Every structure is written in structure tokens, then in C-alpha cells.
Structure 1
């Protein structure tokens, strides 16, 4: 048996310690390489969908995680519009206030590592009740001093994230992720600025002209119904003359919001010009389109439109409805039919929905 002062035993122990240090250094180098590759991919992403999949799907695979969650503050719905309408492999949780983030971080602005016996209720909040996660890294996403979201990495191994471990790599990752999210949002804002009416927030005429041709060709190719609505605010000039143009602008803005809230994902609304809006309803039959038109008309009739001075005014709306004819040769056929129906609604007394007579058989 070797004595405590046995030189051979000491050499063996030193070798063991050195090998342990070398193994740790190699592991850290591999970890650094993975983080570096991830940062490069985050900086190069081209869409919000790609960014979300990178953080929630690729990160989980690359780092051997058992769970990954992304929470993003979205009080104005910007991120909701930036994400695709179709289901994603993994979707972020969009928050309408800071409340949930404050529960996780309070005043802490760096990564929080949570292991067994260290506020397990926090893990349940981050990953949901009944989670199998036993240790977690909660990363705050901060831009310009504002907490905009959080990224959560979880493991079933209670030793994976030790509450006393360093967080240098994780803090850097959260900073890069926050920059990438802000960059995607800014890109989305620029994109939307080119296709959105600045006053009402609905799409503009240029975008409608582009998108309508796509919807038309899809409806013709796949033989599904396509409905078009022309919506016009009644006596809008009288509103401007009696209450002023700022009030008229508010009525337009609020009508645009009512129209948007009445539509499904995949429907299209645009300001066509002046006080006129146009709506496309793919895969919608005559009865369904009439229901949408009447819902919008009734909402406008019942709404108290708030003026810049804090008062209210009333407004009504006329709607012309047309269905894509079976023998249509261009989108203009549908648009002209909806325009004719709108003219009939105006002529018949306004504040009503009129469908064009030349609807396809069976509609």
C-alpha cells in the first residue's frame, strides 16, 4: 500500500488532476464552438419563423436539452403578424404584458440557473405544471434596457444546471438572441410599411393589387369559392365637413380596426381609396361572405367612434358583395361585380349589404 507521501502516488494524482483539467478544457472548447456556431446562425436568420425554430428546435437538439421555451412580449401583436399563419414546429408564447416575465426575473437581468431545492415553483412557471424538468436556465432577453422576453432551457437531469455555475455563455447567448429578435421585428416593420396603409393599419392598394392576383389564380386552379366585398363609409364627406378632417381620420382608422377584427387568418382587407375598403374572402361561399359583410356593417353602425377631442360620432357603412364567376377570365370581373353591388347598396338607401346578381350557380 502506498503511503500519503509516496512520490509515485502523488505523480498519479497529479496526472489525474491534469487529465481532469484537460477534459474540462476540451468540454468548454466544444461548448464554446457550439455557442459560436449558434450565434452565427442567429445573426444570419432571414425570418421570424426561422429564428424561433433555431431557438426552440435546433438549440434543443444541439445542446441535448429536454425542453426549450420562448416567451416574447407582444402587446401590439407585431410578432403575431410576423409569425406564419400555419402551425409551427414549436411556437413561442406571446405575452400581452410584463407580468409573467416579472414573476420569473423580478429585478434580475442575468441568466438564472434553477436546480433541485432552488425555487422549483419557478421551473413550473417556466415550463408548465407537471413538467419533468428538474434543472433549468432562464435567460432574460433585454434590448435597450427593456425586458422583451425570455428563453428557457430545461433538463431532466437535476445536475445539468447548478445554481452556482457560471452563466457567461448563457448571458452572451441571451444578448445575441435579443438582438436577432429586435432585428427581425425591425425588418418586419419595414416590410409592413411598404404594404400597409399608414392611417388605418390595413393593407394598402398596392399590396391588394399584388395579393388579389395570387388569390384569383389559386381559386381558379383549385376551383374553390372566392368572395369580394366593397365597403364604403356612408356620407363620409358630411363627417369631415361637420366634425373636421381629424375626426374623419379617426373614423377611418377605427373602421379599419373593426374590419380587421372581423376576418379570419388568410382573409385580406385593404384600404382601396378614400373612405372605401375592399375585402377578399378565400374559400368562402355566398352565405358565409354575406355573414361577414353584415357583421362588419352592424359593428360599424353600433360603434361610438371616438373623436380626437374625446367625443363620439356615429357612422354607417354600405357593402357590395360578389362571388368569383365560374367563367371569370380576370380578377377585374370579380372586382367590377362587387363595385356594381356597392353602387346598388348606395342607391337603395345605404347602410345595407347587397350581393351582385351574377353569383355562380350553387353559391
Structure 2
């Protein structure tokens, strides 16, 4: 009968060694998992910190330009996006006109898209009730990313609503096809859209208040206070950049006779149309304001005397050459007299307030010469 022999003693260390190696391997796997989780936690913490910083930036924005700049620059970095665009609905075009009057050049923001109505997005209104995530499709989403030559692979379209009204869409894009997927949770981007919508409403309201305070309510051009403020700014800028500026003083000829003949409504119609015709001959960088009554002042930046005379003549001809349609009493004719003066880089060295007063005074004297010379003409001083 075969006796039961104990296992060799050297097998026990082998089993122990195997268990130890298995434990070490398990421990290394756990350590790798912990390191991965720790790295993810750090990444999420950094992402959260970046988004908090972004939120503070846009909430603290005091102007339309500052807010839009932060949306296009900071958001792309914060969220690691390849493209960001913004659609705003401006049904009457009054928002764009106001921003233009406030000297905000919308050409600075090629990815800011103004549309009159939702139908221009080539999508049913029901599609804009909640965020849309997924692959980019040209037929559905080209309007959102029309300003980009290279289109994204995946997109997130975030409707922005205020008080139940759709004011626009924030549009995010990535060149990675798996960045935005239809089954992703949308809580975070909906919150982002809500914050930006509130901030937009806030800065637009602030700009409207500024616009109202600096705008003549009848003609919708700048008022005297704004022109005087801009003139000081332009004198300082012209001094730094060493260029000339011109100042025009304009006065509608025989305006009292227009009021007497066609009534105050007729006079108001002429004032509004004169302001429009003057503005049509100016650049965005120029400033037009009503100084009171039938008088207007224009500041032309980076303009010498020769070019200023050409602008003044265009204005004069546009007013004298076309009848004015009145809202209550047919049509009438009107002309304008213009006084003009300039200051160049060699004489722009005195106190800015003194220079501004002198420019207006010299332009007014030139206007007086135009009036005495027979009206409907441009004179220089």
C-alpha cells in the first residue's frame, strides 16, 4: 500500500510567490485605475475652473463688444471648440442700426450672424425648442456656420430664449465627429445658453440706454452731447496717430419758411430726411449730430481739406437735388449751407477741449459766410 507523502517543501514558496505576484498585479491595476480617476478629477476640476472663469467674464461684460469678444475667444478655449458662431434675430434691423450708430463695427465679428426671421435657418421652428447635437449636415446646419470655410464634423445648436421668445442660437462645432452625439446629456449646454442669453439681453439693454441718452429722438442721429464727446476722443486719437480731422457745420436754408408753409410736421419730415441724406454720405467712423433746431455738425476722421470738401459737396447736392416727400402735404424743396474747417497733425497740440471749441467756432464762421454768400453752398475757414 502506497503511503501518503507530503508535498515538497519548495512548492509552498512557489504558491506564495504566485499569490504575491497576483496581488502586486492587482495592486498595480488598482493604482493605475486610481491614477486615471485622479487625472480625470484634475481635468474635470480644471474644466470647471475654466468655465467658472468664463462665466465671470461674460457676466461682468459691460458692453456688447466686450461680451461678443469673450464669447468668440474665451468660449472656444474654455470648451476646446474648433468653431463658435452666434445667430441673433433682428427682425426690423434696429439692433444693427443702433450698434452702428454707437460706432460698433460689426465687421469685427464675422461669426456673428444677424437674421430677420427663424425661417432663414432652413429648419422648422419646432427644431429650435431644444438643443440639437450630432453630425454636421450641410442641408440642415449650413446657415449656422456660413462664416466658416471649414465646416465642423459634429455640432451643438443651443437655442437662446428670453421670456419665451427665441432671440438667437449659440452654435458650437468640433472637427471631431464624436465630440457631440445625439444621446449626450444637454443640461450643461442648456445652462450655458441661458447664461449667454441673459448677458446678451443685459448688454443690449445697456447699449439702448446709452443710445437713447446720446441720440436726438426726432432724427435718430447723435445729439450735441455725444458729438462733443466724440470730438474730444477723435482729437486725441488724431494726435496720437498723426492725421487730420475735419468739422462741418450744416444749416437748412430758410427752414422757418418750410415750417410756416408746411407746418411743424412738414418741418420734422424735412429734418429727418436731411439727417438721413447726410448720414448716407458718411463712413461708419464719422460722427453726425444734431446741434439743435435745423443745425447739424459732422466730424470726419482722417480727412484732409480736399476730401472734406468733396464730402460736403456730395451732401449739399443730395439735399438740393431731390424733393422731400412730406407725410401730410405732398413734397417740397430744401437746400443746405455748409461751413467747413480742418485741423492737421502739425496744429493738433493744444488742449483737446480748446481745439474742439475752436473747430466748431471756425466751422460756424464758415457757415455764416455760406449764408451771406447766397446759401446752398460750401465755404471753408
What TM-score range do you get, normalising by the shorter chain? 0.7 to 0.9
Q: Following the alignment from structure 1 to structure 2, what is the Cα–Cα distance between the partners of residues 297 and 177?
A: 45
Name the residue aligned to 1:115.
135
Answer yes or no: is 1:125 the counterpart of 2:150: no
Name the residue aligned to 1:354.
379
Deviations 1:81-101 (A, max 9, x none): 45744974x544342512565
Name the residue aligned to 2:24.
none
Name the residue aligned to 2:21.
none
With over 3 angstroms needed to count, the CA separation of the structure-2 counterparts of 1:192 and 1:37, relative to structure 1, is: same
| Equivalent runs, 1:186-197 vs 2, <5 Å | 186-197=205-216
Q: Following the alignment from structure 1 to structure 2, what is the Cα–Cα distance between the partners of residues 214 and 49?
A: 18
With over 3 angstroms needed to count, the CA separation of the structure-2 counterparts of 1:166 and 1:81, relative to structure 1, is: farther
Name the residue aligned to 2:4.
none
With over 3 angstroms needed to count, the CA separation of the structure-2 counterparts of 1:136 and 1:79, relative to structure 1, is: farther
Q: 3-state SS of the aligned residue for 1:244?
A: helix
Could you tell me how far 1:219 is from its partner in structure 2?
Answer: 4.0
8 Å contact from structure 1 (residues 72, 93) kept in 2: yes
| Equivalent runs, 1:231-310 vs 2, <5 Å | 231-309=250-328
Aligned length: 338
State the superposition RMSD in angstroms. 3.2
Q: 3-state SS of the aligned residue for 1:95?
A: strand
Could you tell me how far 1:37 is from its partner in structure 2?
Answer: 4.5
Q: Following the alignment from structure 1 to structure 2, what is the Cα–Cα distance between the partners of residues 99 and 303?
A: 38
Gaps spanning 5+ residues in structure 1: where? 1-14, 357-363
Q: 3-state SS of the aligned residue for 1:271?
A: strand
TM-score (normalised: structure 1): 0.81
TM-score (normalised: structure 2): 0.78
Q: Following the alignment from structure 1 to structure 2, what is the Cα–Cα distance between the partners of residues 284 and 272?
A: 22
Name the residue aligned to 2:23.
none
Q: 3-state SS of the aligned residue for 1:113?
A: strand
Q: Which has the larger radius of gyration?
A: 2
Q: 3-state SS of the aligned residue for 2:217?
A: coil
Name the residue aligned to 2:203.
184
With over 3 angstroms needed to count, the CA separation of the structure-2 counterparts of 1:93 and 1:197, relative to structure 1, is: same
| Equivalent runs, 1:1-363 vs 2, <5 Å | 35-74=51-90, 75-76=93-94, 77=96, 78-81=98-101, 84-85=104-105, 88=108, 90-98=109-117, 101-104=120-123, 106-107=125-126, 108-115=128-135, 119-128=137-146, 130-219=149-238, 223-309=242-328, 311-324=330-343, 330-331=354-355, 332-356=357-381
8 Å contact from structure 1 (residues 52, 92) kept in 2: no
Q: Following the alignment from structure 2 to structure 1, what is the Cα–Cα distance between the partners of residues 158 and 364?
A: 54
With over 3 angstroms needed to count, the CA separation of the structure-2 counterparts of 1:109 and 1:312, relative to structure 1, is: farther
Q: 3-state SS of the aligned residue for 2:122?
A: helix
